[in-house]
Structure 1
């Protein structure tokens, strides 16, 4: 499997304000890319007629939960899958309201790309700024700003250009490398899958063409070699007594048989003997492949250890500076005890200090606080009971992220990015 083949899966998240057409856009992508069964289309047509619409309400394809439909809003993160001949896609459809910031963080944490919807009639709203800030915080490499409902502003180029200028001025303050703009009408289908005849002034690509062709192979860190061991494989069957394999997902770099490696935390060195994918030997492995590795020497390795290059090692730390999105109704306070999960390692931890909270609407810091509540994003100092092997989140989204767990309930209560 080459890096090019691995390029075939794009994970993207959609974010926007209430009623800006997010569900309709996803429905349009699924419908126009022929990713829906006939009976689903028939059911949506029937529902649309019952509601008295003279068009097919494609938002019904994605708003699966009855309670949401009755309120006309999308609540949780819904994952959708579709494919075209060029690529496979996973969509994380996340809600737009402030009280669901944690849902957006969950949906966006693994995304290569974020689609941010802007209603052409309303322009940039508070939610646009907030979603862009979260996309920047989560280091999503690619952002597409879809200016939707262009049919309701007579496909005006001036309206579109003003929104583009406003967004560019705002996003220059954020850490987003690649921003593209597409004027669309999700309801009518303009520039979603098919080019629009109503906007001859727009010379860029359609949304689907961009999703199919955006370059994502370099989104992973292919320089710093990181292999957290998830499981030690020691089959006790005849003929396999000497086999000792280390299974896990590569979180960075490229590994090949014959490479010199070092094991953390022990510091022992060895060489890679073989790498297997689905039981077949392969000549190289890279993020985010899940493989089994064998080493030439017998070293005591267990779950939570990390295989790295001797001359390129992560920081080994017990004091972490983390931007945390708090996800629990019970607020987080200093000296709170937690379990921290980092790659395949779990250990006890304690919150030493809450430095500041971010107002996600204005990007201002709120200091001198003693606790943070649900959906808050804050910079927190955490002390771990054992050393963890970390990279800054901006360098590696895998080895730079942590999950915080309540030791009493085993609930996930926070997600964090190491600074």
Structure 2
């Protein structure tokens, strides 16, 4: 799932696919004497133009027998395009997909099983939030590409004035205490809307709960468990230390724009939100810092939703060996390190976290990524997000509704949506 605050998105016409000349796994040859023409779909802003050129030049030098064609796609409408491509005989050879999208594509039978390649790709150190949703029915189809997750963006000057040391905020209790100090007069200690459900998901995971679980072969919503209710209680306490609307999410209005007005000490956002804040208020340049979302205890940061992408190889790829070579290169340590530095992403392996140590936002993100999770790994989850009873439940709980009753109602709606879609 793409965390779109990391980057902007514009609409371009989909490029015409360049296809190979004959069928077969990797025995297709072109008129130029055996070169494989490899078509790769990468998503808008997952790589910069400079990184794409550097990688393409390096890849072509290392693999002169592969003619690499990278085609940039748009996130809007990509699901339908990928579904159509996987069902055709003319699919690209490698596709970047959102990590939570892998299950629905794998279920269709359109992806190549890469389970046997995990050891070769260093799978024992993959980020859990990318690796787990990249698997389906016990097999690995998606190879972790890059990750992004939310952190706390804070005003350095406001915390300093309040006598708050951000480095000392390691637990939820310490976070609440610091935010109370920052919540004075017309200044909001934190701007947190009532429907920032990804943040709630992290708190639920910290409590040992989940959004939904498998029960007897079917999925069951679990917002009404003691763990999930405890998480909502914490969310309610934190949200009250600001003036965020209780009936909207972080995009309505855009929370970075709210913080740019100068009266907000903290928001929960991907680090790219800091760039948006400065764009709207250049006076805040150099005044923004980052720390990981705190956990229940100081020994580990809070759980966060891991957004990002996996790379998949369509079963219909005509150059599966060359496609695997591409995947291995781009997800390998050398290019993962370069990508992380170029794009401020979290590398796909926990062993590469130090690669972004020089980037404060990405470094905070990498710490949280170690506790990253994904939404329930089933094609049916898409139906939940389409209706999103979690948002309605959160608003009802924050505006005087009976939390237990509202959680039971929302859990039933999640159960229905997941199982009807599956």
Higher strand proportion (structure 1 or 2): 1
Relative to the length of structure 1, the TM-score reads: 0.25
The higher-RCO structure (CA 8 Å, 6+ apart) is 2
Please identify the structure whose Cα radius of gyration is greater: 1
Higher helix proportion (structure 1 or 2): 2
